[in-house]
Structure 1
């Protein structure tokens, strides 16, 4: 007979896989739109569409009363962390290949396992900690420090997706801390409201392009250029990003709410081959040998962490106190 814990893990894995597929499509769409629209406009539009789907899910889960919380500060912090993670990652998409950016971001599950050990009390042994170090070494390999450096740019560009990954991991750990008392739809709506607030503030401050440094600084240009009304050809892409946003926000939040993060996080790595394929298909991008080697190190580290957990034959459960479960 399947235990409730095993059932929750299976559902969490399924939700993560659906969410990661939507993430891959979303990233491809944002990279496509990055040549003509500012990041905060894309974020505002996709969130405005996605939040409609989230309110539908909230209604199915029990209604507006589920938005009540006695920890608004933690919800705001969690939302701002996710906004910062997304903004940093999307800014890197404007200057780095899709597969490379995703590969660097996929140190996120390693951060999640590390943060779960440090902050939630989940047991992570020395072998898994060693695998985490090995995975981070893959980031260094991608920069090709033995030569003149990567053909894709200076090391600080590589730092953008890694910073995004660390912020995303912090958000995921906070999801576990909040998840016992908050539904997936409620957590999703809190996040999306923060996206709307931040993107609206960007529009009010720099929406006319007054701080745009120009195309010579592509990441900042993507972030700070003036708003432009979408063309008829681009509206379907904006709408699809909104649909993906709703799917991503609900599925990932629900997965980390119902299952231990160290058990489901490695399944996010299916996004790595998806990103490489989409980068090749839509942008004619193909990884260098160093990128392939770094990908293998990061992927191998993540899979080892997961297989080690399966080998131990038990579910990692955080130490819960009153402060962690509310």
Structure 2
């Protein structure tokens, strides 16, 4: 049982997570050009679980859950969040999807306060507001598009993501990071397999390229798909493991603010890999994001939670 928050350590885990995920997620566009969402999740999960299995003996990992029901519930919630997130990318702008997902810290604060009675002081409330404003500045005007039922899907992903992050600490405090990691990829693998099966029995007409990511069933992909899906599997295995560890050592309402660093990390990789240049507004937004994380880290030294 974790007896005290270790906010600085959690920030380090999240930084590693952001750098890895920022790199691997930049190549989802390459994968989506020829394969489908369901095949991607199934293949990536099989690869990740295989890698994890190979590490069990040399690293003496513990995969058996202490509370199987809690691990199953958390895995299903986090799996649903990622499924909705990647699925929404098929028919919504990336900026709008990302803005919706990063409503998660707001949901974390609300759930922590009203479901678990945790004290949420003004500093963390302001930090979330500052961080979210920074997110909108990084994403640009397109993030504030017209509201629609489809536009609510990324926000739904943010709600599930927040619930899963809270469940990591509240439901699974005695679980090892590798147990939760295995559960996460197993849930996504099962969801991917179900999607592939349904699209095999009742195939849909999928547009060419990334536009057909959601509707596309099983295809015979190129070597590029296998390569970048393996990179995704290995990067996600380590990155998500770091994220899980962060939520185990610090309160979800603190750690969730640090996750804003994923956006500048992704933007940096986008510039290095694809030559995508940030606007001055986006750069100012990243400063606000860093400031939000700093507010939480500094306040963590205070005797009362904030």
* Shared fold, TM over 0.5: yes
CA contact (8 A) 1:15 1:252 kept: yes
CA contact (8 A) 1:104 1:139 kept: no
2: distance between equivalents of 1:151 and 1:68?
40
- Deviation per CA, 1:92-131, whole angstroms, max 9, x where unpaired? 3345565664454333233323322233333112453355
Displacement after TM superposition at 1:253 (Å): 1.3
Q: 1:78 and 2:70 equivalent?
A: no
* Corresponding residue of 2:181: 188
CA contact (8 A) 1:112 1:169 kept: yes
Question: Structure 1 stretch 83-92 or stretch 97-106: which is displaced more?
Answer: 97-106
Q: 1:129 and 2:119 equivalent?
A: no
Give the one of 220, 235, 255 matched to 1:229: 220
* Corresponding residue of 1:33: 31
* Change beyond 3 A, Cα 1:58–1:305: farther
Number of residues paired by the alignment?
Answer: 302
CA contact (8 A) 2:180 2:244 kept: yes
Q: 1:93 and 2:89 equivalent?
A: yes
What 5-or-longer segments of structure 1 have no aligned partner? 145-149, 317-326
- Deviation per CA, 1:126-146, whole angstroms, max 9, x where unpaired? 4533554566677788685xx
1: distance between equivalents of 2:51 and 2:112?
30
CA contact (8 A) 2:36 2:213 kept: yes
Displacement after TM superposition at 1:241 (Å): 0.9
Compute the TM-score of the two structures, normalised by the length of structure 1.
Answer: 0.76
Give the one of 204, 207, 213 matched to 1:214: 207
* Corresponding residue of 2:107: 111
CA contact (8 A) 2:204 2:215 kept: yes
1: distance between equivalents of 2:209 and 2:146?
15
Aligned residue for 2:27, secondary structure, equals: helix
Give the one of 38, 44, 47 matched to 1:46: 44
2: distance between equivalents of 1:154 and 1:288?
22
Question: Structure 1 stretch 94-103 or stretch 247-256: which is displaced more?
Answer: 94-103
CA contact (8 A) 2:38 2:217 kept: no
* Corresponding residue of 1:161: 154
What 5-or-longer segments of structure 2 have no aligned partner? none
RMSD in angstroms over aligned alpha carbons?
A: 3.7
2: distance between equivalents of 1:89 and 1:244?
18
Give the one of 156, 161, 170 matched to 1:177: 170
Q: Which runs of 4+ in 1 moved over 6 A?
A: 137-143
Question: Structure 1 stretch 55-64 or stretch 180-189: which is displaced more?
Answer: 55-64
Give the one of 5, 8, 11 matched to 2:9: 11
- Deviation per CA, 1:64-105, whole angstroms, max 9, x where unpaired? 6x5244441x32221121112111221233455656644543
